[in-house]
Structure 1
């Protein structure tokens, strides 16, 4: 009933709290469709994860921009949130409160999405067991590998692709 990428997003969101991974999972899913057929609701969820990633790292400006964008997008798609197993009104209230906290430079704390579909909860719990990951737990703020994931990841494939692209451009001049 729900896309696998969405389930995996929720599992990481409420399990290991790897918001960078949440972003990667949904961005890849979102990009599977042609640009004109992409559903913006996924961008809203991506922005929630990126906002929390930034807040946890005390990048309050980046966190604020992302959360503000998420609220704007999800507000315009509120009716779709129930089809995704969430209480849309509660979600928007939670996000608005978090935006106020970010604006006041309050320290990060775990955020829980208001999942109301019991079937979705069961799917997430089963998937978290498959991944040998906890479910519905707070962040472990001591895990540097998750807190600073963007700066610790292997980017050799990105560097190689950029180099190849530059070489192609130079050879066509």
Structure 2
């Protein structure tokens, strides 16, 4: 019923609090659909993870932008959130509180997404048991690799793809003139 990538996202979100990995997993999943069929609720969930990643690093401007975007998207996607086994009203309340805290530049603390589907929670817990990782553990605020994970990644493919897209846009502009 639930995509494995979604379960993996939830496990990372609630266990090791690796929000960077949450972003990577769901972005790849989101991109599997053709651009005209991509679901915005995946973007909203990605932006929650990215917002928390930024807040944890003390980047309040980035955190505010991401949490605000997530709120905007997910407010329109409440039915989809329910179908994803989340309690949409509780999640939106949580995001509004987090946004206010970010505006006040309050320190990061871990949150859990309000999972309403017991079957989904059981799937996540089963994966945790297999991996021998605890559910709901607080983020390790002393783990620099976790907190600054984006600095350690290989950006070669991302840079190449951006250059490719830039070249395409330039060619398209030439064709329309």
Q: TM-score, normalised on structure 2? A: 0.88
Match of 1:120 in 2: 120
Match of 2:171 in 1: none
Structure scoring higher RCO (CA < 8 A, sep ≥ 6) equals 1
Distance 1:69 1:158 in 2: 23
Q: TM-score, normalised on structure 1? A: 0.90
Distance 2:17 2:144 in 1: 12
Distance 2:157 2:74 in 1: 33
> 1:132: Cα distance to partner?
3.2
Query: After the TM superposition, which parts of structure 1 deviate over 4 Å for at least 4 consecutive aligned residues?
Result: 156-159
Distance 1:88 1:45 in 2: 12
More off after superposition, 103-112 vs 126-135: 126-135
> 1:133: Cα distance to partner?
2.4
Mapped pair 1:32 → 2:27: no
Structure 2 unmatched runs, 5+: 169-177
> 1:134: Cα distance to partner?
2.0
Match of 2:138 in 1: 138
> 1:152: Cα distance to partner?
1.7
Match of 1:43 in 2: 43
Instruction: List aligned pairs for 1:51-66, cutoff 5 A.
Output: 51-66=51-66
Q: How many residues align?
A: 167
Structure 1 unmatched runs, 5+: none
CA offsets 1:92-121 (integer angstroms, 9 cap, x no match): 000000000000000000011111111111
